[in-house]
Structure 1
Amino acid sequence: RLLQFLFLLLHLKQLFNGAEADLVTSLPGLSETPTFQHYSGYLQAGSGKYFHYWFVESQNNPSTDPFILWLNGGPGCSSLEGMLSENGPFHLHDDATVYLNPYSWNLVANVLYLESPAGVGFSYSTTGNYSTSDPQVAEDNYNALLDFFNKFPSFASNNFYIFAESYGGVYGPSLAQYIISNSANINLKGVGVGNGMTNYALNDQSLIYFGYYHGLFSESLWNQMNQACCSGGSCNFYSNSDSNCMNAIEAAIPGVPMCINGTAMYEWLNNPEVRSALHIPTSVQSWELCSHTVGTLYQRTYTDMTSFYQSLLQKNLQLLVYNGDVDMACNFLGAKWFVDSLNLQALTQYGPWYFEDQIAGYVQQYKNLTLLTVKGAGHMVPEYKPGPALQLLKNYLANSY
């Protein structure tokens, strides 16, 4: 009773910190009534930088359930993709009507979707400067988090986890390190990285083997690459300057453009009624899935996340590296090689994990780190395999696979 009373007091405090103005009271296109509260508004991420957020309270017990920050990658892509097509409670039909996702992660946790950095989605900078870098984004995300907990102090003591996808493999661990280094009053417990960019060299090197053993190019092309790219019993498919090698790699992995249908999201989020419901000022730019400007100007600083993982492991945080096993953007083999390079002591054998009595993928646990694959999932695991994705979250939070 005392805990509930204190939570109520903190909830009342939120009303005076701007949270009440961010409460979403209706969503155009949604015919059902959510059983949970959700908020949309802005967080100050730095001087003149305002990051749009959409926060959904847990459908279970918001006061005690874990708190998750979700970040999509790019760099330059919106975390509302995570909300509306992956693990959020609101999903869209092709006609831009809204339905409730039965596998939403807010069934078990409070989830904050943050559009980062400035220029992505509905986030903006008053200076119009959208050039940024890995270290700057970590600092900006940290500032946005502090502003969030100032608005919502009742959630500051909840167990806090960062989940990030794709280029979020850089965002997530670097933000966690920034939190630790700045002694913030944030109850950080762990980081989950889904199909994440962890090491450029290992990702690109492993991709050739992934492609060959999945039958994606011919034996003759494989032999051609081995002739041009390999010597002395080792191969270099990542930084090989031999023109024959580069030509063979280009033939094997031609870089077919991604085929992502974001039409429903684009039309719905740019509907003036939806923007109004989400408290987006009319002066803010139209929503796009990924910002070409941010992606073009972005300075990629961290090409190997090893030092970040080593630091986080020393702090006894619970790390999760999970991959859809048919993704080619950030393939599972590169993630496996990356974890192997950390030289951690394995606590379990590599073996299957289950969803509804079916093999959902494979898992191996190390001290403070779990490596996991999701069978049949591509780059966005919760989109392709929503049920197993929710199960892996439950398993991770319970540390039981």
Structure 2
Amino acid sequence: MKLAFSLLLLSSLEAFANCEKHMNDPLGEFMKAQRKGWHADYSDATVESEADFSRVYLGSHDGLKEADKIEVLPGQPGGVYFDQYSGYVTVDPKAGRELFYYFAESQNSSSKPLLLWLNGGPGCSSFGYGAMMELGPFRVNSDGKSLSLNRYAWNNVANIIFLESPAGVGFSYSNTSADYDLNGDKHTAEDSYTFLVNWFKRFPEYKAREFFIAGESYAGHYVPQLAQKILQFNKITNQTFIINLKGIAIGNAWIDAETGNKGMYDTFWTHALISDEVNKGINSNCNFSSNNSLSDECDSYLDQAHKSLGNINIYDIYAPLCSLYSNTSTKVALDPCSESYITSYLNTPQVQKSLHANVTGIPGPWEVCNYTVLIDWKDRSSTVLPAIQELMTNGISVYIYSGDTDGRVPTTSTRYSINKLADSPMIPWYAWYTQGEVGGYAVGYKNLTFVTIRGAGHFVPSYQPARALAFFSAFLDGKLPSPHQN
């Protein structure tokens, strides 16, 4: 009996180790580092000037659009009736800093708006996660070699750019190693703006198109900070270069440290993931509103909370883990081993060649998340709520959405954040529908909409693709999701 128990315990520990190999948690590592206090804070109060715009690098793009066109991706299925492009945009020629993008046009591209998609981390790939696992036109199959069509891809309703930013993420790189030491909120916003200005020169037919920015997780920083920069530059460039920004959408977004932390631990308790005692200890000892380091007593209770969670997928608390998935008959929308398939596919030389990826520029094999970027992150705001408020005040539509089974940036955190942004709703809380079912819940404020997606984890378009496409289509139309059954 003792031998049998020992073998069972050994098997369980081995399974735990295998699961760990497939559980990227960059935002969790980032949040843990924040317990020790904040680095230099990114200033949301910075106002761009004409002199700042004059320093934005503008390169020549003759012939580069044609060179970036993808003929066909290895393993691509039939029935593809849209154009694809990928390649590099130089944001600093002196340093040799190059940002990689993938662009999936809509089938009727001239009649559709333009969207820039950003994943967070910080340090995670918008191409690997966003394009290949979430809202892009393809999903990587379990063989790591072939693709299947995503019938709920967002390029059904928009032309979509997936940007890997900052340098060091995915296929993006710099020839100056010191650049990697500069990564942070401010640097990322600056490079992303430079990327856009140059991308519009490469694709001038999109210059006047309605433009939207969306992203998730730590892109809750990237998206509003980039949108704020666009808004401010639009005001000072005397109409010489205007980006037609209409709105932003951020999902399960890390936007405010106080509400993010409070909401996360409240969710752990209300979903029976931690004990009453640990919850009481957190509430009594943790001051998440402070920019100073948390107390040792608080740290101790937070460690207890995370240990008591056990080995679960914090980004979808009810989902199976990768190493256990193949041993169950559970059917889920997102294969928990997807990251492994994507990593295998994007490290295939034939795939890299078709994408025009310069793999000699990146320091090692392609990775879905670069933890070195995360560890070396230089500046970050404790909150980006002032940037979001500035966008709202200037008539930019802000759409915040939240998968309701995420444990890392849960719906509770987002609701606490929204309570800091808005007061009385103009459209009261209601259930919205798609495909004859409740897709989630929504509430509308002036220039701010909050939408939940029922049954979705952190990667909303992966877990609930049909519901994600429904709310995204409403966002592009400047409407709230439908309250009517169809």
Does TM-score exceed 0.5, indicating one fold?
yes
Question: 1: CA distance between counterparts of 2:446 and 2:198?
Answer: 33
Contact 1:345 1:367 in 2 (8 A): no
1:358 is aligned to 2:437:
yes
SS at match of 1:163: strand
The aligned runs of 1:2-401 (5 Å cut-off) are 16-47=62-93, 48-59=96-107, 61-80=108-127, 81-96=129-144, 97-128=146-177, 129-131=179-181, 132-183=183-234, 184-226=241-283, 228-229=284-285, 236=287, 241-254=294-307, 261=337, 262-285=339-362, 286-398=365-477, 399-401=479-481
| Structure 2 CA distance for partners of 1:371 and 1:284, relative to 1, 3 Å | same
Question: 2: CA distance between counterparts of 1:126 and 1:15?
Answer: 20
Q: CA deviation at 1:263?
A: 1.2
**Aligned residues, how many?**
381
Structure 1 stretches of at least 4 aligned residues deviating more than 6 Å after TM superposition: none
SS at match of 1:28: coil
SS at match of 1:329: coil
Which consecutive residues of structure 1, in runs of 5 or more, have no partner in the other structure? Answer: 1-13, 230-234
Q: CA deviation at 1:357?
A: 1.5
Q: Which moved more, 1:252-261 or 1:368-377?
A: 252-261
Contact 1:374 1:388 in 2 (8 A): yes
Q: CA deviation at 1:207?
A: 1.4
Q: CA deviation at 1:257?
A: 8.1
Contact 2:442 2:480 in 1 (8 A): no
Q: CA deviation at 1:242?
A: 4.9
SS at match of 1:378: coil
Q: CA deviation at 1:209?
A: 1.3
Q: CA deviation at 1:284?
A: 3.0
SS at match of 1:70: strand
- Percent identity of equivalent pairs: 36
Contact 1:204 1:238 in 2 (8 A): no
Contact 2:171 2:359 in 1 (8 A): no
Question: 2: CA distance between counterparts of 1:344 and 1:112?
Answer: 34
SS at match of 1:364: strand
TM-score w.r.t. the length of structure 2 is 0.75
SS at match of 1:365: strand
TM-score w.r.t. the length of structure 1 is 0.90
Question: 2: CA distance between counterparts of 1:135 and 1:241?
Answer: 25
Contact 2:61 2:201 in 1 (8 A): no
| Structure 2 CA distance for partners of 1:103 and 1:354, relative to 1, 3 Å | same
Superimposed CA distance per residue, residues 360-394 of structure 1 (whole angstroms, 9 cap, x where no aligned partner): 11100001110111111111101111110000101
Q: CA deviation at 1:296?
A: 1.4
Q: CA deviation at 1:273?
A: 0.5
Question: 2: CA distance between counterparts of 1:225 and 1:62?
Answer: 51
Question: 2: CA distance between counterparts of 1:71 and 1:303?
Answer: 20
Q: Which amino acid aligns with 2:140?
A: L
